[in-house]
Amino acid sequence: MSQSLLFAFLLFVSVMFFTPGPNNIMLLSSGLTYGFRRTLPHMAGVILGGAFMIGAVGLGLGAVFIAYPVLKTILKYAGAAYLIYLAAAIAMSGAAKMDPDSRRGPITFWGAVIFQWVNVKAWVMVIGTITAYAAIAAFPWNIAIETGISLMMGILATTTWALFGSSLRPILTSPPKVRAFNIAMAFLLVASLYPVFADA
């Protein structure tokens, strides 16, 4: 990978990973509601799920979406529906009780992995990575490099957002404040769907 291509890709993934989006908003809310440690499986699912998408699409899965473009439409609207469901769940959640037997908890590792496949922002990042920065015909190792960089950026971004959320716990101490914060995060999550319907 050339130095200019690498620099451009680093800038691209930095913007994609660190700016507000469905993953980061949910991690922020989870960090506040459940704490950093209980959010770790969610973080791991985002990191590994996103990196796996880049690798899988770059190594040939993208051809399936080219052959069957209706799949992208199905994923787009399935993702929007799931995002609305998650927004409702976040809006209705208050501060987590310290009950180990409580059935309510943060998103699981596999839930976060699967969510990447219906996350509109994740698809923007993956498609941008493969079409604009991979140049796989001439440089097949670019996919491996970009997957590795995405893993590192994912670790930094998810840690930042989850820690930001958990750092708010001493400030937002009452259940009504936590509920109000989560409702605001739910609205932001729904607002992140704007590109889906603007492009419809």
Tell me the mean pLDDT in the region 155-161: 96
C-alpha distances (whole Å) from 102 to each of 34, 98, 105 are 12, 8, 7
Instruction: Identify the band that residue 139 occupies on the pLDDT scale cut at 50, 70 and 90.
Output: low
Mean pLDDT of 113-120: 86
Give the least confident one: 72-76, 156-160, 165-169: 72-76
Residue 31 has pLDDT above 50, yes or no: yes
- pLDDT tens digits, one per residue of 77-104: 776 777 787 778 777 766 555 444 445 6
- Given a cut of 60, whether residue 136 has pLDDT beyond it is no
Q: How confident is the model at residue 120 (pLDDT cuts 50, 70, 90)?
A: confident
Burial 134-173 (b: 16+ CB within 10 A, else e): bebeeeeebbebbbebbbebbbebbbbbbeebbebbeebe
pLDDT at 151: 93
Confidence at residue 196, expressed as pLDDT on a 0 to 100 scale: 55
Look up the pTM and report it.
0.75
